[in-house]
Structure 1
Amino acid sequence: MTMTQTWFWRFLLMLCGPFLTRIHTSSLLTDSHARFALDLYQTIRSSNEENIIFSPLGARLVLGMVQMGAKGKTQHQIRKALRLQDDLIGEEFSALKSFLSAIQPKKQEFTFNLANALYLQEGFLVKEQYLHGNEAFFQSTVKLVDFQDAKSCAEAISTWVENKTDGKIKNMFSTEDFGPLTRLVLVNAIYFKGDWKQKFREEETQPMDFTVKDGYVTEVPMMKMHLRTKLGYFTHSQMNYQVVELPYEGNEFSLILLLPGEDVAIEELEKEISVDQIQGWLKAMREEHVEISLPRFQIEQKLDFKEVFKALNITEIFSGGCDLSGIADSSDLYISQITQKIAFVINEGGSEAAAATGGQVPVIMSLERNQFVANRPFLFILKNNPTESILFMGRVTNPEAQKMRRRDMDSL
């Protein structure tokens, strides 16, 4: 290489360096988001035997808002749980801003609303830099309230959440949630609604047996459809399972369904799931003609992320000795509560979801007949395709658990 060529490449690197750094940071953010999502799932499922639904994106955003004002050990615990590198402190906020812009639907087939807010006890002087940072990177607002007036606070915050989720999340908080010691409450609201690229026909929905657990069988409304979509048959640790993708109209979002083999307990398969496996599924799945049978269901769940985050070793933010001096100059400031409430609906038309708050790469196999019959517990992931990010994640162990059975069965 000549001296002229050397200087040319140095000049090009100087021009493109910041752009390449943003790409690298964005890629690391997507990877850390997936690993954080799996960490959350493993923590939540370990204490819950029933249906599960949560938004790792919502959880990440509220922690990101705290991290922006955290320092010292408090900041380190959050970054470690979020799987962020210490040498990139601060850079992830710009990447997160681009990330949030990228997951916004570009077409009108979808409704995707995202809103964040921090409610602080009156008397705390919030730093201007923190206010500007939250608005710039999280599109969030900071509001001062009097938590001692628990009734007014509960009504105000619940109304805000209800408005941001198109009325799907109601009564987020009650008067019992606040008291004299409440200092800071973080609220994250996510609302998603999309139609299937190919809809299930309502006349095809029929009652069908669903094996809940230990051989117990219940009858549920089972939707059916034939379509061409991505499907994979995988084996991991001597366990067989299927993975299928149900795309939404516009192809910006998809629902990924994982169904264990009939002789595989879902709890055993859950223990083995990793980010590398999920990435392996997405690469190995192939377009096939598939006959899908999927229960019509809804899940509503309220999660106490305070206990979940403590299990992930985020403990400092919940004690009076934490360092949140980037938010306000007060040693009395700490997180009182982080709550997420989810409403997730799957029906013939599509999905509606609202939230307020190194493994082995599997090998694809082939079967003569492509059927995906979800007549036993299964996992699901709602993801944004351009970024491959997980918006919602959960499992269905009993489709009738949300008291839909009588209404739905009577409608068949």
Structure 2
Amino acid sequence: MTVALLFRNSLILVLFLSTTVRSTTQPKMSTLSEKFMENSAIFSGELFSTIAKADDPTKNIIISPLSVQTCVALAYAGASGETAHEIVKGLRLVSDKREEVAESYAEFLQSYKDNQLVKIANKIYVNQNYKLKESFKEITGKYFNSEADTLNVANPAAAADKINKWVEDKTNNKIKDLISSDNIDDLTRLVLVNAIYFKGNWAKKFDKENTMKESFYFNENDSVQVDMMTQKSKFRFGVFEDLDATTLELPYADSNLSMLIVLPNQRTGLKDVGSKLKNKSIFEISQNMYETEVSVMFPKFKVDYAVELTEPLKKMGMTKMFSNAAEFDNMLEQPEELKVSKVLHKAFIEVNEEGTEAAAATGAVIRMRRSLPKPPRQFKADHPFVFVIYDKTAVLFVGTIRKLTPANCSHDEL
């Protein structure tokens, strides 16, 4: 961590995401919810594109934009001035009014309250020697359903363990060791955490007997043998000339959730598709797909991913919250100067014949200043592609499979 002449207490933001699919039909959305959905989709594309550009081009990616957005939105609830303005703009929040932002999250979380597929939780850990401002505690508790707990930063190992155990519990043990003891010290004031868990079965499962070894190309010529799931059935399908790609939607059983796959037409077309998706909403893509018979070949895979999000968020315009000029004066009763020192994110996904299991976690540390054809369509995902897990309200996960190996081609049942 960079040493500065002025130090700030630290606030750690931690977000977690996993999946469980058994959702029910959701009620008609309000205008606020519609804007939340639209803006969330834009933020998802921008965050994914920013990370993909900076990351190793051979590395698989899985992130939860919703988890990141929610965690930083918790920090926004205690921000003011230019810091708050940058967060509103960078996260694509529905308004620059704190109450409207809070209400949009309240409506979103309410829509998942009794959902057995997707579980969402928020938590605030505060240094045991400090107290949250009542206004901050009220808005995060009432609108974000966030519980508060104390943290003994004098014992960094125990403090990190306490947070990590909460994360493991909320992500079905899929996300481990999100926070290390090195991230916590006597300047740490708060740790903000969001968690989502999802696990879903396909509405149309793949028959294991039809899974076969096929080549997966990670460039024009080089390939590896992977387990490729196959089936022929009716799915929503799309051809997008502007993306130079085709799309397929695989719905999950008893829910509004689906996995949407964007497959470049060229084996080496992933980079171009990824950049184009920054300006094209997943919901816009979905609206321009149609149901038809499709012959599908789709690989089994398992991916773990970790990324430090400070630089990507700065590139998206959120710079002041990381600086010694950060304004987080609405969090603690004591007059402390705070800044975000780190934003950590971990994610996991596994896809097989039965369905999908996914998890993710993000943490941020705030410190003291310091047309329909007759034959079936073909959809063969034998080269790098983008995938999105979403429903009618938000993008839960987005990722890309760039390269597969025997190690991340799973044979396990979910």
TM-score range, shorter chain: 0.7 to 0.9
Contact kept in structure 2, 1:56 and 1:392, CA below 8 Å:
yes
Counterparts of residues 228-239 of structure 1 (less than 5 Å): 228-236=234-242
Contact kept in structure 2, 1:322 and 1:331, CA below 8 Å:
no
Letter aligned with residue 333 of structure 1: L
Say whether residues 1:165 and 2:171 are aligned partners. yes
Q: Compare the two structures and name the one with the higher helix fraction.
A: 1
| 1:320 shift after superposition | 3.7
Contact kept in structure 2, 1:187 and 1:339, CA below 8 Å:
no
Aligned to 1:194: 200
Say whether residues 1:143 and 2:161 are aligned partners. no
Give the alignment partner of residue 23 of structure 1, picking from 11, 19, 30: 30
Query: Secondary structure of 2:225's match?
Result: strand
| 1:63 shift after superposition | 1.3
| 1:367 shift after superposition | 8.1
| 1:274 shift after superposition | 4.2
Say whether residues 1:356 and 2:361 are aligned partners. yes
Contact kept in structure 2, 1:298 and 1:399, CA below 8 Å:
no
Contact kept in structure 2, 1:124 and 1:330, CA below 8 Å:
no
Aligned to 2:315: 311
Which blocks of at least 5 consecutive residues in structure 2 are unaligned?
1-28, 363-370
Contact kept in structure 2, 1:114 and 1:189, CA below 8 Å:
yes
Query: Secondary structure of 1:90's match?
Result: helix
Contact kept in structure 2, 1:292 and 1:371, CA below 8 Å:
yes
| 1:233 shift after superposition | 1.4
Aligned to 1:43: 50
Give the alignment partner of residue 181 of structure 1, picking from 174, 178, 187: 187
Between the aligned partners of 2:245 and 2:268, the Cα distance in structure 1 is 8
Between the aligned partners of 2:326 and 2:336, the Cα distance in structure 1 is 7
Between the aligned partners of 1:132 and 1:167, the Cα distance in structure 2 is 30
Aligned to 1:326: 330
Aligned to 1:341: 346
Of stretches 70-79 and 259-268 in structure 1, the one that deviates more from structure 2 is 259-268
Contact kept in structure 1, 2:65 and 2:397, CA below 8 Å:
yes
Say whether residues 1:119 and 2:140 are aligned partners. no
| 1:293 shift after superposition | 0.7
Q: How many percent identity over aligned positions?
A: 29
Of stretches 129-138 and 173-182 in structure 1, the one that deviates more from structure 2 is 173-182
Counterparts of residues 12-411 of structure 1 (less than 5 Å): 23-48=30-55, 49=57, 50-84=59-93, 86=95, 88-104=97-113, 106=115, 110-236=116-242, 240-262=244-266, 265-274=269-278, 276=280, 278-328=282-332, 329-357=334-362, 368-385=375-392, 387=393, 389-400=394-405, 403-405=407-409, 408=411
| 1:114 shift after superposition | 1.2
Aligned length: 374
| 1:195 shift after superposition | 0.5
- RCO comparison, higher one (Cα < 8 Å, 6+): 2
Contact kept in structure 1, 2:202 and 2:253, CA below 8 Å:
yes
Q: Structure 2 length as normaliser, TM-score?
A: 0.84
Between the aligned partners of 1:273 and 1:345, the Cα distance in structure 2 is 23
Query: Secondary structure of 2:132's match?
Result: coil
Which blocks of at least 5 consecutive residues in structure 1 are unaligned?
1-21, 358-363
Letter aligned with residue 336 of structure 2: S
Between the aligned partners of 1:333 and 1:87, the Cα distance in structure 2 is 21
Q: Please provide the CA RMSD for this pair.
A: 2.3
